[in-house]
Each structure stands twice: as C-alpha cells, then as structure tokens.
Structure 1
Amino acid sequence: MIRAMAGLCLLAVSSVVLATTTLTDLDFRQGESGELQVDLTFSHGVPEVRGYRLDEPARLTIDLVDTTNRLEQRRMELGIGGVEQVTALEAGSRTRLVFNLEGPLPYDTAQQGDRLRLSIGGGGAAPMVTAAQPPKPRQAPSAPASGRPTIEEIDFRRGEGGSGRLIVTFDRAGVDARVREAGRNRIVAEMRDVALPASHDQVLDVSDFNTPLRRITPRAGRDGVTFDIEGSGEFALLSTQSGRQLTIEAQPVTQAERDQRVRQQFPYTGERITLNFQDIEVRSVLAVIADFTGLNLVASDSVTGRVTLNLQDVPWDQALDLVLKSHGLASRQEGNVIVVAPASELANIERQEIEARTQVETLAPLVSEYVEVKYARAEDLAQLLRGGDGFGLLTERGRVAVDQRTNMLLIQDTADQVQEILRTLGRLDVAVRQVQIEARIVIARDGVTQELGVNWGASSTRGFRAADDGTFVSRDINPDGLNRARGSLAVDLGSANPMTSFGFGYLSGDILLDLELRALETESRSQTISQPRIITANQRTAVIRQGEERAFQTISDNVPQIEFKEAVLSLEVTPQITPDNRIIMDLVVTNDSFRDVAAGEPPIDTSSIETQVLVNNGETVVLGGILTTEQLSRLAKTPFFGDLPVLGRLFRYNEESSQKVELLVFITPRILEDGLAIR
C-alpha cells in the first residue's frame, strides 16, 4: 500500500514536471475595433507565452510552454478580423496554436487571472506588441552559447522530376547531422548540439509544391534539433552534407521501382511460414519445408545435426537459407527438386560435372563448317577465333583456316563449339555504317586601292623636248609643227592604269605646257568556295586532296636538281557513330596556296585546322575562322619639290591599299542508310 502511494506520488510529481498547466477552453469573439479576441483558460495559471509571425504564408504561432492540450476540437474555423482558422497542436510539453491569417496582422496578449486574452488585428499590419506578459513558472531557457552551431536558414524547393528538396544552412561547418527513414512516409533528421532560433521554430506546410514531402516540423530539444518530415506516396531518400549545408531530397518513385529496390535489399520471395521447434533434427525441418512448398527434396547422408528455431511469418526460402547456413550446408535447385548437402560436397559435385563435360568435349567428334564472310575480312575474324586480343573461341582441338580468294573461313571443332562460333560470327559479320562528310571552305577577300598622281611636261616647235633628267634636248619636229611631251615628261608620277584623268595645256608663243592629273580607286571583292565531299566507313580514316604541284631547281654539291612542291586543299576525317546516332569526328583541314615569286623555291601560304567535334546527324558545325588584314601605304615623290607646300602635290604619287582575307570552314556529316548513295 505504501509502495502504491509512493508510485502515485511519483507519477503526480512527474506530471507536474512535464506540464505545469492545461489548456482547458478557447473562446473567441469580435472586438469593438473589428479585431479577433481569443480567451484561453488554463487549469493552473497562465504559462509562459511565445509568439512568432510568418508573413508568407501569413500565420501567427503562439507557443504555450509546459502546457498540455485538453481542447475537444483541434481545428476551429474563425473568419473574424482577417483570421481564417486556428489549429491546436501538442508536442512534448508544449502546446502550439497556429492562426492562419489573410495577411500580416498585429497582436497583443493580456493576462486576466487564469485566463489569457489574445487580440489579433484591428490596427493594420503593424509590428507585434505585447500588452502584458504573464508570470513565468520557471526561468526561460537562455539563448544558445556562441560556441553552439545555429541554424541560419531553412529553405524548401521543388527539384527536377518533382522531387522535394529541404536545404538547412548552419552558421558553421562540421555539424553532426543524421538522416533516416522512420517508417513509411516519414523522415527524421537529427542535428546534435544545434540551436534553433525562434524565427525558424515553426511548422512548414509544403504540400503546395506537389512533391513527395508534405509537412516539415522542426523541434528543439536538449540534445539539439530534430526535423520531423512527413511525406506521401512512394519516394527515395537522398541526403548530402557539404560545408554548412544539409540537403534532404525525396525523389518520387513508382511502385514497381520500389518493389525492385525491396527485392534487391531482400531477395526472398517465397510464401511465408512459421516454424517453432526445440532441438529438432535438421532433416525433419527440411521435410517440413518440403511439405509446405510441395517441392521434392533430396538430402545427402552428410546432412546431420539438430536445430532450435522460432521463426514467425518469414518467407520459406529465407527459413531454408537460415537452417542451411547454421550447419554449413548448401542447396541447388533443379526443376522442382532441391538437393541439400554440405557446401564442400556440392562444390565437389559441380567440379566433377565440369571435368566430365571436359572429357566429353575431348572425346567428341570434330565437325567442319564453311562460313562465307560478307562484310568483314576473313583473316581478321580468324585471328579473333584463334585468341587474338586475349579472346578465343576454339577449343584445344579446334582449327580455323582462311581462303583469301573467296573470303571464306573453314572451321573445324566440336559440334557444340561450332554452333557457338557461328552465333558469334553472326553478330560480328555485319555491314559497317557509313558517313558522308561534306566540307565547305570559304575564302572571302575584300580589298580597296586608291592611287593619285600628276604627269606634266613641255613641248616646243623649236625641236626641244624634256629629257628624263629634266633638261631640254633637240628632237625632230612633227608634221603639225609641235613636239609632244608624252613619253618624255618632266614629271611622270601619275597612276599607271588610271580610271580617270584630267588634263589641260597652256600655249605661249612656241612653248606648250601640258598638265594631267591621273587617279585610280579600285574595290575588289571575291569569294572562293571549295566543297570537298567524302564517304567513309565508321571509324575509318578518309583523306581527299586537291591542289597543284610546282617544280623548282635546287643545287646540291654544285649539281642542279629538280624538286617538286605541292600546295593542296585536303580534308582528313575519322568519324565515329555513337549509339544515339550522333557523330564524333577527328578532323584535319588544310588549305595551302603558292605565293608568286620570280625564281627559286616557291613559298606556300598555309591555313589549317585540326580538332575533334561532336555533331548531330545532318547538322552543320563551324570549325573556326582565320581573318587576315593587310594594309599598304606607298609614297613616291621628287626630292625637294615633293615636300613643298601645295605645289608639292605636283611632284608626288600616293597609293593606299587595304585587303582583308577571311577563311571559314563548315562541316556537315550525314549517316548513310543502307543503299543510300552520294548525291
């Protein structure tokens, strides 16, 4: 009796420690200013109150510390003052009231005896104000020490494929976090020695994201923080921790995928059986399992011993496996017959069977087979059969010969091995796919040339002319009585091939002065397109070349020799067709051209591209471009006179030229279907 009373007293003390008061009633009404007034009634005084607001979605959370919940309704529809509903939750020794709001609203609290009045709204979206703080039954927990890790941010996102991703960020790295599945549709994440700020101590409803996760509830305890994550449907859990972040991801899976994963983790699929035996012979247990399954069972004479087992509702194949492993036994099923024997004995039986098959193959008669190889080289396949590259299909007695004229194989081996060889050759002797590679090599040239100069001189009826050195000498008189100055100009600095010229003359007595301005401006645009096209087999290198070859003379040991040098446009390509019908190409493209010189070894201008690219079938890729710009400025003048201001232009010749050359290479590969020829 005394012990019973002591137990009751201990139970009462424990209840007081766990919860000092009880929430017994909740009344609500609309206040004079349109606000919501909520009256909370407690059994043993008003507890410590903590309030938190969430703007998006708009919610107000009121935590009643050390309080149990005795309300009959867990959820109540309100519809007053912008407050839609209230939900009462109990977790451990704490009761939480969650108010769903239409928008951010202010609130305050006031104590009235054993009642607490909570006013929400009525003053616009203002900061929270606490009107009265109820007496604290005990000291509130202090803020976490600076040496304790703290949660900085809790973020939830929808990942690829509809997965739900919870990201928890700490203020430092090295947090001890453990994530596990706790039953069906529930995940628990434990973060030891971690503090949870009040701003993050709230339930997250993530059902609107349409992921396998529905609700996330963080809970702070003495040992750290625990996240209770509720889910729905079938999902696969994946958690990673890197630096200051912990990522918990739930990926949706189908029922078939989940069953497959369960089968991989638990390979037993037999009908469930219950076995409860004390000190029974192993043979008897095997007989019970055989009767249960309807299979025939053969036990070796070496199967002995006794076993005690108590198995409740387990697959029969798992029960059989447990019994066999406990006595060093093994089983082998052939049809509907199960053979049970010691593992070493079964291994010897299998070894003897292999040796017997080897002897049969040794004594088996040899047969010959003629194989006509269609697409491959018979010599390559013969080398493969003999054991090239570490692979061989012929037995010790087998042989293979090649008839290169007809590209045929003569195979001699046992009948079974010949059939295996024929199946292998059927997979290898197939038509190799082909690729057509078309290249466009574009050379674009753009040039501008400007020339400006002056020709002038003098003529006389007295038989004088202007010499090249500027002096006048005697010459014959033309029939018209004038000696023209053309060809013997005093200044000849005009354009050699003028497009426009302007001249005038002045005659005074027997002297004629000629002046001619000559100018030339040339614009040139040219585009050269080379379009080499080639077809090659998969993974075979192909080369196409086109160009010219020039001969030149060299002297070696005082003996003249004729050598040749070539400048070609070439395309070298090695294609590889991928399983998804894309093409990997190793490309070498060169475009060489001779530079004009008078004699000797001709120099060559070279442009080349060497690269590897991955291209979709039929698409065009630009490998690259080379842009060359050449600018020329030339000035010819008469000394002294060409430097005179204004008049110096009569003694000068100017030439300005600019040329741009651009090289572009376009490659288009196409996989050729059977029977498709180049067009």
Structure 2
Amino acid sequence: MKRYTSESATLIRQTFLAAFAMLAFLSFQTLAQEAVLHEIVVSKLSGNRVQINLVADGLLNDPGSFSTSSPPRIAFDFFGMKNTVLSDLVAVDSGAVDSVVAVETDDRTRVVINLVHTAEFATNIVDGDFVVTIENTDVNAVRADVAPPIFERPPEIVSSDQIVRVDFRRNEQGGGKVLVDLSSPDVAVDVREQAGEIVVDFIGATLPIELERRLDVIDFATPVQTIDAYNNGTSARFIIVPTGKYQHISFQSDGQFTLVVDPYIESDEVNSSADENGFLGDRLSINFQKIDVRSALAIIADFTG
C-alpha cells in the first residue's frame, strides 16, 4: 500500500483544485460565448407556409422585433450576435416570403424577412435554432373581407414620414440640445419622463437603419449621458438618459424638433449673497423722524450712485 506524506497530500490537493478551476473557467467561457449566426435554412411547409431557421452557435437572447406593412416586412434585432452567413441575401420566393436579409451592425445583427404581402408569423426556439414560421394569409386582405361596424372609424392612412438627421450640441448654459430633422413638419411628437429617462416618440415616423444606434455624449459635459434611437412599432423612439438634477424643454419649428436638457440650478446658488429676505447689497438706515423728504431722497441717490 502506498503512503503519502503531508507534503504529497497537499500537492495532490492543490493540483486537483487547479484542474477544477481551469475546468470551471473553460465552462464559463463556453457559456459566455457570444452567439454567432452562421446559416439561414428555409423550408417549405404545407399550406404554402414557409419556415425560416436561424442557425447560431452560442446562447440566443430574445430579439427585438417590428413589422411594417409598406413595404411588408418583419425584422428581428439580435443584440450582441455576430453574423458569418456567406450571403447577406437569401432568395426564397415562396408563399408570402420574398427573401431574407441578415446585416451586422456595431451592436447587433438584424434579420429582415421581406414579404410579398403582410402575413402572420410565429416564433419559437427549437434545438437552439430561432425558428420563424410565416403563414400565407394576407392579413390586410382578411381584414378587408370583414365588414366594419357601422360606427367604426375609417382606417388611418399609414404615414411615410421619416427622421432625416440627428445631431447633439452643447449650449452656453452647459446643457445638451438634441436636434432631430424631420421630413415633414406635421409629425406629431410625444415627450414624457419615465423611470428617470426622457422618452420621445415620433408618431408614425420611421428611423433609417443607419440612424438606429446609441449616441454616447458624455464627453460634452452636459446632463445628457446617452441617446438611444430605434424603431418601435409604427413610430420612432428616442430615449435620453440624463444624470444629476436637470430641467428640460422641447419645441418644434417647421421640420426640426429640439429638446434642451439644462442643468438645474438651485435658487440658493443664484442668490448666494442674498439675505434671509432675498435682498442684495449693503444696508442703509435712515431716521425719518428728523429729516425732510427731499433730504432723504438725496441720501438714497448718493448711496446708490
């Protein structure tokens, strides 16, 4: 029987712990690996339906998504995912699907399904693949076949308004100015504060893909830290993240929307030299019991210069 000294036992224990730590590190690296899209597989199903499998290595996060009716398309944003698909455009030409496009940007991979007409779809994850099933029923045609109630409002016309340009500047008061150029002065804008952030919705306007990004404006030394711009359904949304105490005002002139976020200055800081009654300057005491009005006015005039 082999016997181990205390030094040998210590060495064996340290070796075992080192091997265990290395195994745990490798396992963590595997789990933390970013997802990589490397294949788009298209299958034709019964009823002229189409199934699209996005085959990726790594863990898939729930994507952001939106759809449009003019042109008809469905888009998915996979944040943090890389794209290694050999061809950015996959031609389908089956059912309601015309083609599939995958484009990688700085922080995401966007997969756009171009449709022949609007269609319903369903998503799920099967064996690690993100699966999209496209029906072949024209949603607009189905809705047109249903007679609207007698008092139903007529459908609204889908706006083609777009956001043309986004800019950020610093004003003389140390505040930040968010400037958004619009294709039409008739775009309705909704501005509100929500959970410590300023949310701006441009109703019915779309944001070009090249303008969908995060603007890091910390270096401007204003209350504004970041600006996130993206499409949200049928509207474009901006989320402005400020810091510290601030006050904001927004206005729209012709085709430009402006949001100004200024640092909030306490009234005590503005009137730091004022007394408890809010008055500034030196005190002047006059005994009005033995002085005429003309002399009192002359003294006040000399005192104030």
Please classify the TM superposition score into its range, dividing by the shorter chain length.
0.3 to 0.5
Greater relative contact order (Cα 8 A, min sep 6): structure 1 or 2? 2
Greater Rg by CA: 1
